[in-house]
Amino acid sequence: MGDVKLIGIWVSPFSTRIEIALKLKGIEYELIEQNPFDKSPTLVKYNPIHKKVPVLLHNGKAIVESLVILEYIDETWKEGTPLLPKDPYQRAVARFWAKFIDEKCFPEIQKLCFGSKQEKEKARDELPKLLKILDNEVKDKKFFGGDTVGFVDIVSIPITYWRGAMQEAANVEVLTNDEFPNISAWAEELQTCSIIKENLPPREKLVGAFRALF
Amino acid sequence: MGDVKLIGIWVSPFSTRIEIALKLKGIEYELIEQNPFDKSPTLVKYNPIHKKVPVLLHNGKAIVESLVILEYIDETWKEGTPLLPKDPYQRAVARFWAKFIDEKCFPEIQKLCFGSKQEKEKARDELPKLLKILDNEVKDKKFFGGDTVGFVDIVSIPITYWRGAMQEAANVEVLTNDEFPNISAWAEELQTCSIIKENLPPREKLVGAFRALF
């Protein structure tokens, strides 16, 4: 297994993704918790380019960017629960939706909640369209790839969990659960996985942190 | 091998990535060339979410997003030249730099060349910092991952080839090759690979197309 450390921040859904994946694989690790208000020398040392969490340290080697880390975990500890499906086409589908969540949906959520007035207005137009696309995709699915938690489920938590707390912190009352019933059902289903449920911070704690941060 | 088609546009470095990868793997394919001024019903049918090239059609199944397609090609046709290295850590390094090129560098190049006045000014500050980081990374390397062309080399062409033509089309005279000697050396080395060289459109043709497009 080697020496496994995670430089993370509990308030980051991207750090939490890695904690969930490591626990699903049964990998023991040491969490080096960062202060969200201050970038530590350790973080800057191991992620000099982006200076962001999460950073996985495996036998002293640093791996950064949460999607890259998830693939690394899956390829390094093959014996545990697989994160990505085996079939190349299904793997491509999973990677497509992961990019969609990270590059399209989440930046709009950030703008909607904590952006400038202009960004907020634009996100209010854009985000519902993006979430509707995702909502259609998860219709009639238990987890994204089938009956067990996998890559896209873990990747989804900025949408399926963090979004609610961010909207509450920013007093954004649009985009309720009723508008995206399939995403809501998916979010509930994810809570039936004890490893996911136990690693999500309490909603009130997240709301408080976002109010303090922004 | 199955039925392989590529919906592409010669003026897109992202389409060209896929042509290079398919040829490196020795995969025969039919190119469905799109008009860059008009999104065809075929493109919209197979990539309804982004409506962008490239789209790889393999036995009728559509795979989109060039980085996702490159991984699909590597996983599907394992017998050809490997694109990504074998070692999980080296794979993570390659994926990190691919993201850096696509999410950080290329958007700034687009803004520098074809953005609003404000975007151009911001990109003129940002882009040199990003390219300097990449320049340091490729110092003393032949190809990115060693002695043969691989994933990051193919991914690099928006930076190592297209950038010059885009800057010329937009009359942007900053960021010359002298400022990034290692990227320039890398760009030259890539041309020693005949599959890459033969698949890059002539520079004057690209410059003309960008002048017409923007």
Per-residue pLDDT of chain A (214 residues; tens, 9 = 90+): 899 999 999 999 999 999 999 999 999 999 999 987 788 999 999 999 999 999 999 999 999 999 999 999 999 999 888 999 999 999 999 999 999 999 999 999 999 999 999 999 999 999 999 999 999 999 999 999 989 999 999 999 999 999 999 999 999 877 777 899 999 999 999 999 999 999 999 999 999 999 998 7
More reliable by pLDDT, B184 or B38:
B184
Query: Residue B104 pLDDT > 90, yes or no?
Result: yes
Alpha carbon dihedral A86, A89, A91, A96, in 10-degree steps, equals: -170
List the single residue in B63, B64, B95 with the smallest CB-CB distance to A71: B95
pLDDT of residue A133: 97
Average pLDDT, chain B: 95
**Do residues B72 and A89 touch, judged by C-beta distance below 8 A?**
yes
Per-residue pLDDT of B18-53, as tens digits, reads 999 999 999 999 999 998 778 899 999 999 999 999
At B80, is the pLDDT very low, low, confident or very high (cuts 50, 70, 90)? confident
Q: Does A100 touch chain B (CB under 8 A)?
A: yes
CA angle A209–A198–A153, rounded 5-degree value? 90
Q: B99 contacts in A (CB within 8 Å)?
A: 65, 67-68
Which residue in A49, A69, A89 is closest to B61 by CB distance? A89
Say whether the ipTM exceeds 0.90.
yes
Chain B: give the shortest CA distance to residue A91, in Å.
8
Pick the more confident residue, A178 or B9: B9
A-chain CB neighbours of B100 within 8 Å are 49
**What order do you get walking across the sheet with B61-64 strand by strand?**
B30-33, B4-8, B55-58, B61-64
Question: Which of chain A's residues have a Cβ under 8 Å away from the Cβ of B61?
Answer: 89
Q: Is the pLDDT of residue B173 over 80?
A: no
Chain B positions in Cβ-Cβ contact with residue A134 (cut-off 8 Å): none
Question: Which pLDDT belongs to residue B130?
Answer: 97
pLDDT at A155: 98
Q: How far is B192 from chain A (nearest CA, A)?
A: 30
CB atoms inside a 10 Å sphere around CB B144? 23
Does the distance separating the beta carbons of A99 and B92 come in below 8 Å? no
Contact A130/A105 with Cβ under 8 angstroms?
A: yes
- pLDDT at site A208: 96
**Does residue B69 sit at the A interface (CB-CB below 8 Å)?**
yes
Residue contact A68–B96, C-beta within 8 A: yes
Residue A1: per-residue pLDDT: 82
Cα R_g (chain A), whole angstroms: 17
Q: Classify B135 as helix, strand or coil.
A: helix
DSSP readout, A41-64?
Answer: HHHHHH-TTT--S-EEEETTEEEE
A133 inside 8 A of chain B by CB: yes
Partner residue facing A95 (CB), from B68, B88, B96:
B68
Contacts with A125 (C-beta within 8 Å, 6 or more apart), sequence order? none
A172, A165, A171: which is closest to A187 by C-alpha?
A: A165
Residue B176 pLDDT class (50, 70, 90 cuts): confident
Question: Strand, helix or coil at B126?
Answer: helix
What is the rounded distance in angstroms from the CA atom of residue B107 to the CA atom of residue B67? 15
DSSP 3-state of B29 = coil
- Helices (DSSP H) in B54-200: which residue ranges? 66-76, 88-99, 106-114, 117-137, 151-155, 157, 163-169, 181-190, 194-199
Task: Indicate the helix (H) or strand (E) that contains B62.
Answer: strand B61-64
Q: Does A18 lie at the interface with B, CB-CB under 8 angstroms?
A: no
Contact residues for B208 (Cβ-Cβ < 8 A; gap 6+): B169
Place of tokens 């941060």: A213
Q: What is the pLDDT of residue B139?
A: 96
Query: Which residues in B lie closer than 8 A to residue A57 (C-beta atoms)?
Result: none
- The pLDDT, as a whole number, for residue B100 is 98
Condensed to tens digits (0 to 9), the pLDDT of residues B128-172 reads 999 999 999 999 999 999 899 999 999 999 999 999 999 999 998
- pLDDT reported for residue B213: 84
List the structure tokens of A89. Answer: 């086409």
Give yes or no for residue B188 having a pLDDT over 80.
yes
A52 in B contact zone (CB under 8 Å)? no
- For residue B55, pLDDT over 90 is answered with yes
The amino acid sitting at B148 is T
Per-residue pLDDT, A90: 97
CB atoms within 10 A of CB B146: 11
CB atoms B63 and A133 under 8 Å: no
Model pLDDT, residue B79: 84
Q: Residue B44, exposed/middle/buried by CB under 10 A (0-12, 13-18, 19+)?
A: exposed
Are B95 and A69 an interchain contact pair (Cβ–Cβ within 8 Å)?
no
Give which of A4, A19, A73, A14 is closest to A199, Cα–Cα: A19
Chain B contacts in chain A segment 152-211 (CB below 8 A):
none
Residues of A within 8 A of B63 (CB-CB) are 89, 92, 96
